[in-house]
Structure 1
Amino acid sequence: MNDITGWLIAIVIISLYFAILLFLKKRDLFERYNLSFYGPLLMWKTKKGKEFIRKIAKPKKFWNGFAMIGIVISFIAMFFMLWLLVENLSLLQHVPKKELQNLPGINMVIALPVINPILPVGYTIVGLAIAIVVHEFSHGIQCVLGKIKIKNLGIIAFIVPIGAFVEPDEDELKNADSKRRMKVFAAGPTMNLFVSFLCVIMVSFVLFPSVQPSDGAVVFYVIEDSPAHEIGMKSWQVITEIDGREIKDYNDFYSVMHNTTAGENISISYHSLDGKYYTKYVVLADKYNFTNESKDAGIGFLGVGITDVLERDLELFKNPFEESPKDFLIRYYGAPFMGFFVGYSPLKEPFTSYYKIEGVFSFLPSEVFWSIVNTFYWIFWLNFAVGLFNVLPIIPFDGGYILQDGVKEGIKRLTRKITEERREKIVKVIMTAISIMTLFLVLAPLILKYLAMLLFS
């Protein structure tokens, strides 16, 4: 889907959304069901649920400890995100100017299915709902512990529910000490990151141990006018046998092919990931004709590139914490982006067909097993996104308020002699500067993309 198609779909969906809201408004259904319309957002408020939050908050020592750890985690995640944004911007300096227009567009930033093409509708709704509920309930729990009144609970929607909220009494929150406020703000993103961690455990250490690679060498590409091209071989087909010799993996393929000769007539058995099987005969070319390297003269050449990416991704999903944080983000969290831009994703059909389900979960049909995997993966993905995005030091995000209280406490200790009013002004200037800088880092790739489109399209 190109940017123009994405925008057209978005415009149609948003237009329908507003038409439905206007219809409901004219029928006086807003007042009846405590609905409010704030610009493009639909808000529903209720008093129900406050008692439930009070019950959850009863193990006070646990939640107090969770919140204190949460403050530390929030600061670590905040500085990690800032480093990542700076690193990303520095990498963009090396991208050719014309290539900048191929960067992800704004539709890839919006966490709404259909508008964002990488987000599967069903899994996204489940993942977002869980992310929003645990985030806001965590804020509510800390309000109860901090003796800050909860006025309302509610849901915010834009086409689909995009947020839930616990509305504290603003005056009580403002008058609370910095420690209590930081606990309230840190609780939400920390809970999101905690849920995402639990889902990684579920995916990688409970479900994926039952996943094993199938035998065969996976074709990554087919060279034009090669023997493989002539018999109709395609990318992502799996070679299982060459001239009666079993091919179990990447290494077997190259070992067998190295012992063939140019002009040799061989049989080759292979299958597509969708389950179609083939056995064909092919006359091998001379490898030298394709590589121009003297050492390849006389060696048989089929004309395919073999990849072990499916095995490597399987190892990644089984051992996610062996990667550096950056590689974890690129490969584990970034798997859906790879699926969109490269056309390959280890969690989607037909690529999941390459794997065998053995062990504890072998009794499950393949479709059911991969649905469970994807459910937990997308709960991880969306909680991780919500958690990291919310710790960004931008007012009014949680991270902005956490840093604001941290800066305020630091200035109070360093400058005891200045007035409270003067201190507030200094904090405001610092936070405004940090918020603008962070917002620029977030938006920079989009700005560069659309500038490149204007200049080079």
Structure 2
Amino acid sequence: MPLAVIRFVDSLYLFLILFVIFWIIVYAFKKRLEKYNLLVYPFFILWRKKSREYWFPKFSRSKIYKVYEKLAIPLGFLLMIGGIATILYVVIEMLTIKPNQTPTIALRPIIPGVTIGFSQLPYILLAIGVSVAIHEIFHALSATSNNVKVKNGGVLLLGIFPGAFVEPDDNDFNKTTTTARLKIIAAGIVINLILALISLPLSFELPYLPSALSKGIEIVGVVPNSPAYNASISSGDIIYYVNGFRVTTLNQLHLILEKYSNVIITLRLSNGTFHNVSVNIPNHLLGIYVTYYIPDYLLSILTFFTWLFIVNFSLALFNAAPLVITDGGKLLTEALKKIFGENGEKISFYVQSVVLLIFIFAIFLSNRPLG
């Protein structure tokens, strides 16, 4: 078995062992944790506390926020349509895709060590925590804006994933107008779209960004018996200068290699030292695989904002879709109740159930072997 596979399997086993040990310890101290308002269930912790009744009333009742709420309602329904359309698109594509063809969109759950690497986990958890907290704050702001008291608030942990919630007072919420209820629900949905748009320019989703932040060209592979191989250039080395020219983009490297048949390359080695190496390239090819070199601190920032974009864009679409437990389901229920009266709630439940089944089917299709 290759060394990389062995390390992956060992990491997965270690994660599972630590995960189980953590939850065994938490469950063992269940009674003690209840003294601190922590309710413990298998793989689930809930902390609930009585919340302030009104959240930042000066801001939430301002003209700017009132405009946001009015825009949030149509945007919420547009995101609902977008979520349903995305689910249907995935199903159609997965049913018609050819063997060994890569799908353009797939719905795959976040499973550490399986669908994502363990190194990405801290960024994902932080992005989820920030996104959900802001989402719930905007529910509370809109409750205040529409004179609906907030009863409780809290945080939760499901498996390894953090969450948050606010609970408007049921009597106030049910007594208010349909428009007010739609505003309270939609405010949380739309803020995730806004967070996605804010985080997009700082994420890897924009292809120009890595080249703009690059400090050099990192070598990630060397072709055997190539000029680079014969000059003892190794994976992990970073190209800083070629023939005295500073190189930070792939285009710069390409232009210099096209111009010369012999180059002197200034490399930063893995131990941090710099080394000059002379390479003869009659065909103007070094024989290396490269990527942009971005300093660790910038890489961490970009990785976080990449996951912040992914998490918020996913929440904006799929939380807006009517899937029984989502805000989109509540939005649809309130709208159909306004149109069909008491029957609207039943109609909404049937619609949500159908969409949920299609969503589960889409996930199943996305994770089946295609070969």
Counterpart mapping for 1:80-95 below 5 A? 80-92=82-94, 93-94=96-97
Q: CA deviation at 1:163?
A: 1.1
Match status 1:18 vs 2:1: no
Q: CA deviation at 1:166?
A: 0.9
The corresponding residue for 1:292 is: none
Judging changes above 3 Å, is the alpha-carbon distance between structure 1 residues 86 and 9 closer, same or farther for their aligned structure 2 residues? farther
Q: Could you tell me which amino acid in structure 2 is paired with residue 66 of structure 1?
A: Y
User: Counterparts of 2:268 and 2:88 in 1: how far apart (Å)?
Assistant: 42
- In structure 1, how many angstroms separate the alpha carbons of the residues matched to 2:66 and 2:113? 36
SS in 1 for 2:356: helix
- 2:55 match: secondary structure: helix
Q: Distance in 1 between matches of 2:228 and 2:334?
A: 64
For residue 37 of structure 2, what is the aligned residue in structure 1? 34
Structure 2 residue 265 is matched with structure 1 residue 269: yes
Q: Summarize the Cα distance change of 1:141–1:369 in structure 2 as closer, same or farther, 3 Å threshold.
A: same
TM-fit CA distance, 1:394: 0.9
1:222 partner letter: V
Asked if structure 2 preserves the Cα contact closer than 8 Å seen for 1:10 and 1:115, the reply is: no
Residue equivalent to 2:61: 59
CA distance 1:6–1:42, shift in 2 (3 Å): same
Q: Which amino acid in 2 is paired with 1:403? A: L
User: Is 1:68 aligned with 2:63?
Assistant: no
Output the amino acid matched with 1:14.
F
1:202 Cα offset (Å): 6.8
Question: Shift of the alpha carbon at 1:124?
Answer: 4.1
Q: 1:398 aligns with which of 307, 327, 348?
A: 327
Aligned-partner residue type, residue 264 of structure 2: I
Q: Where does residue 280 of structure 1 map in the other structure?
A: 277
Q: 5 Å matches for 1:237-248?
A: 237-239=237-239, 244=243, 246=245, 248=247
Deviations 1:299-352 (A, max 9, x none): 535442576x64xxxxxxxxxxxxxxxxxxxxxxxxxxxxxxxxxxxxxxxx31
TM norm structure 2: 0.75
SS of alignment partner, residue 300 of structure 1: coil
Give the residue type in structure 2 aligned to 1:426: I
The 8 Å contact of residues 269 and 279 in structure 1, kept in 2 or not, is answered as: yes
C-alpha distance after superposition, 1:14-52 (max 9, x if no partner): 322332223212xx32442222234431111111x3146
Q: Is the 8 A contact 1:155 1:161 kept in 2?
A: no
Give the CA deviation at 1:398: 0.8
Residue pair 2:84, 2:355 contacting (<8 A) in 1 also = no
1:145 offset after TM fit, Å? 3.1
Q: What letter corresponds to residue 265 of structure 2 in structure 1?
A: S
- 1:146 matches 2:88: no
Give the aligned residue type for 1:75: F
Give distance in 2, aligned partners of 1:252 and 1:81. 42
Amino acid at match of 1:228: A
Larger Rg: 1
For residues 161 and 306 of structure 1, the distance between their equivalents in structure 2, rounded to whole angstroms, comes to: 36
- 1:290 is aligned to none
SS of alignment partner, residue 195 of structure 1: helix
Structure 2 CA distance for aligned equivalents of residues 116 and 51 of structure 1: 40
Query: Structure 2: how far apart are the matches of 1:394 and 1:199?
Result: 26
1:304 matched to 2:300? The reply is no
- Partner deviation per Cα, 1:403-441 (whole Å, 9 max, x = no partner): 3333444x54xxxxxxx4555443332332223223322
Q: Which runs of 5+ in 1 are unaligned?
A: 285-298, 311-350, 354-366, 413-419
Displacement of 1:396: 0.9
> What TM-score results when the alignment is normalised by the length of structure 1?
0.63
Give the superposition deviation at 1:70: 1.6
Q: 1:246 to 1:135 in 2, by over 3 A?
A: closer
Cα distance in 2 for residues equivalent to 1:157 and 1:127? 14
- In the alignment, what sits opposite 2:351? 430
1:4/1:183 CA distance change after superposition, 3 Å: farther
Deviation larger for 230-239 or 188-197: 230-239
Pick closer, same or farther for the CA change 1:127–1:114 going to 2, 3 Å.
farther
Structure 2 vs 1, CA of residues 5 and 407 (structure 1 numbering), >3 Å: closer, same or farther?
farther
Task: Classify the secondary structure of the residue corresponding to 2:186.
Answer: helix
Query: Which whole-Å deviations, capped at 9, do the CAs of 1:279-308 have from their partners, x for residues lacking one?
Result: 334455xxxxxxxxxxxxxx535442576x
Q: Give 1:445 shift.
A: 0.9
Distance change (3 Å), C-alpha of 1:58 and 1:71: closer
Report what 1:179 is aligned to. 179
Distance (whole Å) between structure 1 residues aligned to residue 280 and residue 212 of structure 2: 36
The whole-number CA distance in structure 2 between the counterparts of 1:77 and 1:352 is 35
RMSD of the TM alignment (CA)? 4.3
Contact 2:239 2:268 in 1 (8 A): no
